[in-house]
């Protein structure tokens, strides 16, 4: 258990530092790391490992997002009127997402998360920035967008920033305000997602009152993440962030591709996709050598 505690603290340090340094939501790092830890230490039922990873990730975001929003609010960057417009949709959408997750296997959730990681890796690696639009964010449209953001966020265990920031920028919200407002919206997503995964998990066999939340992991990750997020923010002025984003994007792609292949074996692919499967496997091996993270 000492080894597990040390690795959870290390995960919190990495997630917090990357969140501050690159503006990457912690869930993108926490979910795949938890899957690995769950498997290595046999902490949760394998058939529900992805459910636990998503629920636990959202529980950590409950705490980290509060600290982030407090800092943004002090600078007057949070647009609370937009948060209030989005919040009903975010809450309902997130609860809907947990209900959808309940009806999905851990394997299918893993495939969905893998695809999400690959998409995010391309966005980060190519440093794509959304274009601003000209429409105004009406209340009814904010609710619909909140439903979409909340549902997807619950299914991939994130606070929604990857989706919310570009959407807000399209509605002419400046990048700093979009990030701050997204962080505030993440509180609603994380809280609703935590409650949702606790409820659906409490009815899925003898999992206890915690449902699909592995609270020891939350206790290990959150303190370190809160301490190191400000350090990551300060490092943005001392490190080549552009290069780091490229390397991190490659890492995300490798993790996403491996997770996809693990959950979608070659034997179940059609003949036309077998060659692509082999090429992706070869690329992963090369990329892993480049990153120095070969573990097998």
The predicted pLDDT at position 267 comes to 54
CA dihedral 246, 252, 253, 256 (to 10 degrees): -170
Q: Write out residues in the chain with pLDDT < 50, as ranges.
A: 206, 272, 293-296
The predicted pLDDT at position 294 comes to 40
State the pTM of this model.
0.86
Q: Which residue ranges make up each domain of the chain? A: 2-264
Give the CA distances from residue 125 to residues 8, 19, 121, 134, 260, in Å, rounded to whole numbers and listed in that order. 27, 16, 6, 27, 19
Q: Percent of the chain scored above 90 by pLDDT?
A: 46
The predicted pLDDT at position 66 comes to 86
In degrees and rounded to multiples of 5, residue 104 shows phi and psi of -105, 150
The predicted pLDDT at position 285 comes to 59
CB-based contact 64:19 (threshold 8 Å)? yes
The predicted pLDDT at position 252 comes to 87
The predicted pLDDT at position 202 comes to 79
The predicted pLDDT at position 6 comes to 93
The predicted pLDDT at position 214 comes to 93
């Amino acid at each position: 258990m000492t080894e597990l505690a040390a690795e959870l603290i290390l995960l919190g340090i990495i997630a917090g530092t990357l969140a501050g340094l690159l503006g990457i939501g912690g869930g993108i790092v926490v979910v795949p790391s938890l899957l690995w830890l769950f498997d290595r230490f046999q902490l949760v039922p394998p058939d529900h490992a992805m459910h636990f990873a998503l629920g636990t990730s959202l529980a950590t975001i409950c705490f980290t997002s509060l600290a982030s929003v407090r800092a943004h609010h002090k600078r007057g960057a949070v647009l609370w009127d937009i948060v209030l417009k989005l919040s009903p949709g975010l809450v309902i959408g997130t609860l809907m997402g947990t209900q959808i997750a309940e009806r999905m296997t851990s394997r299918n959730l893993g495939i969905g998360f893998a695809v999400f990681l690959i998409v995010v890796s391309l966005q980060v690696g190519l440093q794509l920035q959304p274009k601003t639009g000209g429409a105004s964010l009406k209340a009814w449209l904010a609710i619909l967008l909140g439903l979409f953001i909340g549902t997807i966020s619950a299914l991939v265990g994130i606070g929604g920033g990857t989706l919310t920031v570009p959407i807000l920028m399209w509605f002419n919200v400046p990048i700093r305000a979009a990030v701050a407002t997204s962080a505030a919206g993440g509180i609603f997503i994380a809280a609703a997602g935590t409650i949702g995964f606790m409820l659906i998990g409490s009815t899925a066999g003898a999992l206890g009152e915690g449902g699909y939340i592995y609270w020891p992991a939350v206790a290990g990750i959150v303190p370190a993440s809160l301490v190191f997020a400000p350090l990551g923010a300060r490092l943005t002025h001392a490190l080549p962030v552009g290069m780091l984003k490229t390397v991190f994007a490659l890492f995300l792609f490798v993790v996403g591709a491996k997770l996809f292949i693990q959950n979608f074996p070659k034997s179940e692919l059609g003949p036309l996709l077998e060659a692509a499967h082999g090429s992706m496997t070869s690329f992963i091996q090369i990329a892993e050598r480049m990153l120095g993270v070969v573990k097998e």
